[in-house]
Structure 1
Amino acid sequence: MSHPPQLRIPATYMRGGTSKGVFFRLEDLPARAQAPGPARDALLLRVIGSPDPYGKHTDGMGGATSSTSKVVIIAKSAQPGHDVDYLYGQVPINDAFIDWSGNCGNLSSAVGPFAIANGMIDPARVPENGLCTVRIWQANIGKTIVAHVPVTDGAVQETGDFELDGVTFPAAEVQLEFIDPADEGEGEGGGAMFPTGNLVDDLDVPGVGIFRATMINAGVPVVFVDAAALGYDGTELQGAINEDKAALAKLEAIRAHGAVRMGLVADAAQAAARPLTPKIAFVAPPKDYLSSSGKPVRAADIDLLARAMSMGKLHHAMMGTASVAIAAAAAVPGTVVNAAAGGGTREVVVFGHPSGTLRVGAELKLADGQWSATKAIMSRSARVLMEGVVRVPGDSF
């Protein structure tokens, strides 16, 4: 019996924001995995080590959490005015598919550094010292991200003193601009920031209840509900949610029915096939609490509390794309998020999440009675953890 050798595929393991994933140049993938389809998905699933019934990713590069089970493919951009195309895949731990339906805002911060380090940016545009601007085409949702990457002595600067709650060590700050961040959408409200046409809807979830919800499409589609309606106060950490099977089932049911109302799926049962989007999050007015690291978070230092689910579990911090949605929703009077923040208008919001706090800004406009986001701004950091080759059994795809 013959046993095929392992393939050696150039790859870079990177942290971006509070996430990490395996980055590939499109040209480095095997030919049959360079195009979308079963071969590509099978290869990348094997890289991560999914599906894993043990839930550990022992035989792959995944970290067995939604924040650490990710793949990224980068290519020279075919889009005018852009440097690179960025394709993101969220890899479930226990299921044999990859969700390509949305973006990862955290890993977006690693795309610019990767592109510069891999010679994908014209050297004439890379300063000896200063900021290098990288224009990124987010291929999953067809949107532009502008990354401002620090460069020192002609190379990407990765170390620094920028601290990000949810990340243990400081690093260099990468500023991100999400341009026109509303997802294109797939249903009746496709492209609209509020796809149902309302700032607040009564979302009827059979067997669970009726929830006042703001369903917004900015950065990523998100269903926002009041923490109090779920019996929470918004200070919950991962253990309070992730160890409660009934709570997880309730939140997933709300998410699934929100997906239907947002026009993302035709039936709630179909939501299981796209766990990445929409997100579900709950918000509450400010309150003192201790973050997951034991760091005190003072109510006086934040505008609201926010907790979000990622791939069926409470996120340990906050997804970058959901942060965009929080900023956009907080800026619009009348939304559930704006009410939690105390009402009024605002261009910048600071919210408390399980790992600490985050500041994010959004620029919005109101025209003909319709709100739209023109830009969202936040800072993250990124760092190469390992680079070289990843090995994959030759018969795995």
Structure 2
Amino acid sequence: MSHKPQIRIPATYLRGGTSKGVFFRLDDLPESAQQAGAARDALLLRVIGSPDPYGKQIDGMGGATSSTSKTVIVSKSSRADHDVDYLFGQVSIDQAFVDWSGNCGNLSAAVGPFAIAGGLVDPARVPRDGIAIVRIWQANIGKTIIAHVPMTDGTVQETGDFELDGVTFPAAEVQLEFMDPAAEEEGAGGAMFPTGKLVDELDVPGVGTLKATMINAGIPTIFVEASAIGYTGTELQDAINGDAKALARFETIRAHGALRMGLIKSLDEIVTRQHTPKVAFVAPPADYVASSGKAVAAGDIDLLVRAMSMGKLHHAMMGTAAVAIGTAAAIPGTLVNLAAGGGERQAVRFGHPSGTLRVGAEAVLVDGNWAVTKAIMSRSARVLMEGWVRVPGGSF
């Protein structure tokens, strides 16, 4: 019986923020996968180990969660004012598709380090010691990210004492600036608030009429009040992810919100758009114990936020959703801003299942419309493994 040998593809497995993913340089991919299309999607699915009806991704690099079923493709930028182009693919765990509809804010922290180490950034722009400024074009959403990458003795500094809740060990801090983060989503006309309102009445069959702030910033996100859906905002993963009815309810909210935001034209389209939009629920500060056992005091945070990702409650907070939180918090009158106490603010510290996170945003009112020039947060990144990933021949 004839068989095809495995194919070796240069790849790096990195942690960025509270996510992990397989990173590729575009030129290292097989020729058929260097362009968007079925071959690229099939390759990435096989790399990660999807679709897996068992939901474990045992035969691939994925970790069977939304935070670990991720792929990244990086190339030198064709834009004169950028260093690299960055494309993110969220790989479905149990279905045969890759969602290209949004960015991963956590893995954004690893793009600059990967690009420098991979020779994709002009050496003249990289100091031997200090901070390298990497200008990243986020190709999924057409936005600029500025990464501040620490350098020591001519190499990317990965170790350090920066601690990030949701990540067990400290590492070097990578500051990210998400420039003009309002997402220009098709159907939304590039508006930060696609419905034109800071707070909407969202009718959700079987759930009721919910107040909702629907925003395109970092990633399209639907914010609702925790109390309106029977929660306190202090929940951890086990309180929701084992509740099939709750997960179905969140998916119904997400579908109707996506329709209202103009991201889909009919409700049945939501099944092929798992990555966006996100659904999050907010509440005023309260004491709780994080998943690590760490006590979080109400006085140490401005508000509570819990967010759903790929159909499950996220164990911490997606980086792009953090951008949406920071942006919405900076705009008086949104549900996020009101949960944080209202008024004008340039930064918030919010509580999530793994602890706390601070994110800043600069919001201005221009001709009656809100605009955000940038959102800022810190993450860390580290190479976990580098070499080659193998995929069976004929699988793409």
Question: What range is the shorter-chain TM-score in?
Answer: over 0.9
Assess if the C-alpha contact under 8 Å between 1:284 and 1:304 holds in 2: yes
1:177: how far off? 0.2
Partners of 1:124 and 1:144 in 2: how far apart? Answer: 21
Q: 1:201 matched to which residue of 2?
A: 200
Alpha-carbon distance in structure 1 between the residues aligned to 2:190 and 2:14:
31
Whichever residue aligns with residue 388 of structure 2, its letter is V
| CA shift digits 1:232-289 (9 cap, x unpaired) | 0000000001000010011110010000110000112211110111000000000000
Contact between 1:11 and 1:22, CA under 8 Å: does it hold in 2? yes
Report the Cα distance in structure 1 between the residues aligned to 2:122 and 2:49, rounded to whole angstroms. Answer: 35
* Correspondence 1:250-265 to 2 at 5 A: 250-265=249-264
CA distance in 2, matches of 1:80, 1:245: 49
Q: What residue is the counterpart of 1:268 in the other structure? A: 267
Equivalent position of 2:349 in the other structure:
350
Deviation digits for residues 23-60 of structure 1 (CA, Å, limit 9, x no counterpart): 00000000001000000000000000000111111100
Provide the residue aligned with 1:126 in structure 2: 126
Find out whether 1:392 has 2:391 as its counterpart.
yes
Aligned residue identity for 1:48: I
CA positional deviation for 1:183: 0.8
* Alpha-carbon distance between aligned partners in 2 of 1:362 and 1:197, rounded to the nearest angstrom: 20
- 1:192–1:372 CA contact under 8 A, matched in 2: no
Q: Any idea what SS the aligned residue of 2:192 has?
A: coil
Residues 1-397 of structure 1 mapped to structure 2, 5 A cutoff? 1-187=1-187, 189-397=188-396
Aligned AA (2:323): V
Please tell me whether the aligned partners of residues 23 and 72 of structure 1 are also in contact (alpha carbons under 8 angstroms). Answer: yes
C-alpha displacement of 1:80: 2.4
Q: RMSD in angstroms over aligned alpha carbons?
A: 0.6
Aligned to 2:328, the other structure's residue is in SS state helix
Distance in 2 between the 1:307 and 1:141 partners?
Answer: 24
Aligned counterparts of 1:126 and 1:202: Cα–Cα separation in 2? 49
Which moves more between the two structures, 264-273 or 386-395? 264-273
Q: In 2, distance between residues paired with 1:133 and 1:173?
A: 13
Deviation at 1:334, TM superposition (A): 1.0
Q: What CA distance in whole angstroms lies between the structure 2 residues aligned with 1:9 and 1:329?
A: 41
Mapped partners of 2:64, 2:58: distance in 1? 9
How far is 1:207 from its partner? Answer: 2.1
Q: Which runs of 5+ in 2 are unaligned?
A: none
Where structure 1 has 5 or more consecutive residues not aligned to the other structure, the ranges are none
After superposition, what is the alpha-carbon deviation per residue over 1:111-170, rounded to whole angstroms, capped at 9, x for unaligned? Answer: 000000011111122111100000000000000000000000000000000000000000
Aligned to 1:211, what secondary structure does the other structure show? Answer: strand
Distance, in Å, in 2 between the alignment partners of 1:124 and 1:388 is: 26
SS in 1 for 2:105: coil
Distance between the aligned counterparts of 2:277 and 2:129, measured in 1? Answer: 40
C-alpha separation between the residues in 1 aligned to 2:168 and 2:214? Answer: 32
| 2:342 partner letter | G
CA shift for structure 1 position 364: 1.0
Query: What is the one-letter code of the residue matched to 1:146?
Result: I
Could you list the structure 1 runs, at least 4 aligned residues long, displaced by more than 3 angstroms after superposition.
none
Structure 1 vs Structure 2: percent identity of aligned residues?
76
Question: One-letter code of the match for 1:370?
Answer: N
| Residues 7-36 of structure 1: CA deviation (Å, up to 9, x unaligned) | 000000000000000000000000001000
Q: What is the deviation of 1:75?
A: 0.5
Q: 1:158-192 CA deviation, whole Å, 9 max, x = no partner?
A: 000000000000000000000000111111x3211
Structure 1: how far apart are the matches of 2:323 and 2:194? 16
TM-score, normalising length: structure 2: 0.99
The one-letter amino acid of 1:36's match is A
| 1:201 and 1:214 in contact (8 A); partners too | yes
What is the one-letter code of the residue matched to 1:378?
M
Once the two structures are TM-superposed, the CA of residue 290 in structure 1 deviates from its matched residue by 0.2
Question: Once the two structures are superposed, what CA deviation does each residue of 1:302-334 show, in whole Å capped at 9, x if it has no partner?
Answer: 000000000000000000000000011111111
Deviates more, 1:37-46 or 1:263-272: 263-272
